[in-house]
Chains A and B, each alone.
Chain A
Amino acid sequence: MPVNMIVCCKQVPDPEAPPTVFRVTNNKMTVPPDIKPVIGQYEEFALEAALKIKDTVGGKITVLSLGNNFVRDVIKKTLAVGSDELILLEDEAFEDGDSWSTANALAMAIKKIGEYDIIFCGRQSSDWDAGQVGLGIAEILGIPAVTLARKVEITNGKAKVEQVIPDGYRSVEVTLPALITVTSELGALRYATLKGIMAAGKKQPVVWKPADIGLEPSQVGAAGRHSKLDKLFQPVKEAKCEIISGETPAEAGANLAVRLKEAKLL
């Protein structure tokens, strides 16, 4: 059975960037312009989950993203690896939302898309790490949700999900349509092929504004929040690591043992 899939992706500041480049000004995180944004790591796993299903049973993948000032060649990577369509909820009004306003706008966009069997999300975003949007979309749409998938297969019109639990995994069968959040154990996103990159270059994303999904600017982004961000700050860290040295690395290792004994750690 060909499966209609929607994958929600977020453009975020590169979480692998060195911690020193992150600067808070006026309660907002800024990174220098030379640090290129990326697609959130968990959304990449979510996209890979969808691509695996497309490989095996066929189907269509629509990537949906919410934000402003998308860097086209970053977000178009989703097309280059094999998605069929890219829809951007792109407007100044979408900025600085919380889990609530983000999930609500995504759910409205999904209603507009109309047909879907599976919505994939990352387990949590790579900037705020809240882990709420996927489950929020499912609640708003009134569909079941399974979190922390490491494997997803389609059998008999249902999705069979291997869900990671603290000491192993469990196999969960869910009726469709359903929302599934994906964790890192699923495996990395495949590389784009040259053909894929060429094809993606020719495609243009569809851009929707708040009005296109039936929402007022006052209902989205910062204006539509349920929680108030009172303060964003950077904790002061005093680095005080005592580096133990030696003539050779091995001697340094032995010296470390002596130092730990002295410090009564052992």
Chain B
Amino acid sequence: MAEYKGILVCGELADGKLASITTELLGCGRKLADSLQESLSCLLTSDAIGEASKEAIAFGADKVYTVEHPALKEYQADFHIQAVEKLVKDISPRIILMGQTFMGRDLAPRLAFRLDTSLATDCLDLSIDPETKLLIQTRPAYGGNARAVFTSELMPQMATVRSKAMSPLDRDNSRKGEVIPFKIDIDTSKVRAKIIETVKEEAVGVKLEDASVIVSGGRGLGGPEPFQTTLKELADLLHGAVGASRPPADNGWVPAALHIGLTGKIVAPDIYIAIAISGSSQHIAGCSGSKHIIAINKDPEANIFREAEFGVVGKYEEVVPAFTNKLRELLAG
């Protein structure tokens, strides 16, 4: 049996740079590697990797494996899995970490089943059991109403990690590491699911992931109009972005890209203003990392008040315009 050693982070690039989830995975992976006294590797797959491999070292990696191939420009399961599977078989990592992202959600289960091992998805916490050296994986279950702790003796141990659940290390450009170009022939004839076209539906204005203030609306708004008026006015005043819970996205009141929740975007702004959002567990999963949650809802029993720091009970039509006007006055003064 092969000896399984070290930790492998399957990294991602965003706009040619190391994605923030990857810096978070490296931060978490570094701690795990140190407690095992083993090394931390990072795999980067793309058509052009550039400076991202140096960034991965600055954020904690000891080794960076790079696979550059035109077929890897956009995530495509049939191609990416070839690169990851080959590397994993070559280096036999003890632990494989991926982000709970579009790629990680799609790739990690395929790889886990292919390797006949186990996987815990959407982990919020990872640590090493000092006695067994096994990876202790903590993840939410039952819509956030419970937490589950898993271990597995099968190797490699695999986990995907929720974005913003882990902290990156401070960038240290003096850190030393090795960049290893990893040669693999990607068999492009193996494609069974072929991408015909990719359509971006990006909302204009401040991106949700980058916003320090998010004004978010729910089912209680009743239609698309308040998102474009009442909520937008408040968001503009605070230089923030407008978001939504799942029902407005499913009903087409807002673009799907504005959906915040377990199956939408995970955000962690300084201030999250939830308007007419009941606060289902599935929504809370997307915003619970916010520093301050403020809730406006007409139902005093709404679950959102269990999550919020400040709240107003009342109809949004009456509360929000008065709130916005007073804020404008205070900010001007």
Residues on A facing B (Cβ under 8 Å): 13, 15-16, 18-19, 22, 24, 29, 98-100, 103, 123-124, 126-132, 135-136, 138-140, 144-148, 150, 160-161, 164-175, 178, 183-185, 187-188, 226-235, 237, 239-245, 248-261, 263, 265-266
Compute the total of residue contacts between A and B using a CB distance below 8 Å: 257
Is B256 a contact of A185 with CB atoms below 8 Å?
Answer: yes
Q: Please give the distance in Å from B164's CB to the nearest CB on chain A.
A: 14
CA distance A144 to B76 in the complex (A): 12
Is A129 a contact of B110 with CB atoms below 8 Å?
Answer: no
Given contact pairs A13-B142, A126-B143, A147-B106, A132 touches B194 in the complex (Cβ within 8 A): no
A interface, by DSSP: helix, strand, loop or mixed? mixed
Which listed residue (A103, A178, A241) contacts B295, Cβ 8 A?
Answer: A241
Is B311 a contact of A139 with CB atoms below 8 Å?
Answer: no
Is B200 a contact of A135 with CB atoms below 8 Å?
Answer: no
Q: Please give the distance in Å from A104's CB to the nearest CB on chain B.
A: 9
CA distance A248 to B322 in the complex (A): 10
CA distance A249 to B311 in the complex (A): 12
Q: Which one of B22-30, B34-42, B114-122 is at the interface? A: B114-122
B4 on interface, CB distance cutoff 8 Å: no
Q: Please give the distance in Å from A146's CB to the nearest CB on chain B.
A: 5
- What residue of chain A has the Cβ atom nearest to residue B122's Cβ? A129
B interface, by DSSP: helix, strand, loop or mixed? mixed
Q: Please give the distance in Å from B89's CB to the nearest CB on chain A.
A: 16
Interface string of B87-123 (1 = CB under 8 A from A): 0000000000000011001100110111001111110
How big is the B interface, by class? Answer: 35 or more
Q: Which of B101, B146, B152, B327: most chain A CB closer than 10 A? A: B146
Interface string of B118-162 (1 = CB under 8 A from A): 111110000000000000100011110111111111100000000
Which listed residue (A19, A145, A169, A263) contacts B201, Cβ 8 A?
Answer: A169
Which listed residue (B118, B257, B296, B330) contacts A258, Cβ 8 A?
Answer: B330
13 residue pairs bridging A and B, Cβ less than 8 Å apart: A124-B263, A128-B148, A132-B109, A135-B109, A139-B110, A139-B113, A145-B77, A170-B195, A235-B147, A243-B312, A248-B318, A249-B314, A265-B292
B262 on interface, CB distance cutoff 8 Å: yes
Kindly list the 8 A-B residue pairs having the minimum CB-CB distance in the complex, ordered from nearest.
A249-B314, A144-B192, A253-B322, A257-B326, A253-B323, A226-B118, A139-B113, A250-B322
Is B330 a contact of A261 with CB atoms below 8 Å?
Answer: yes
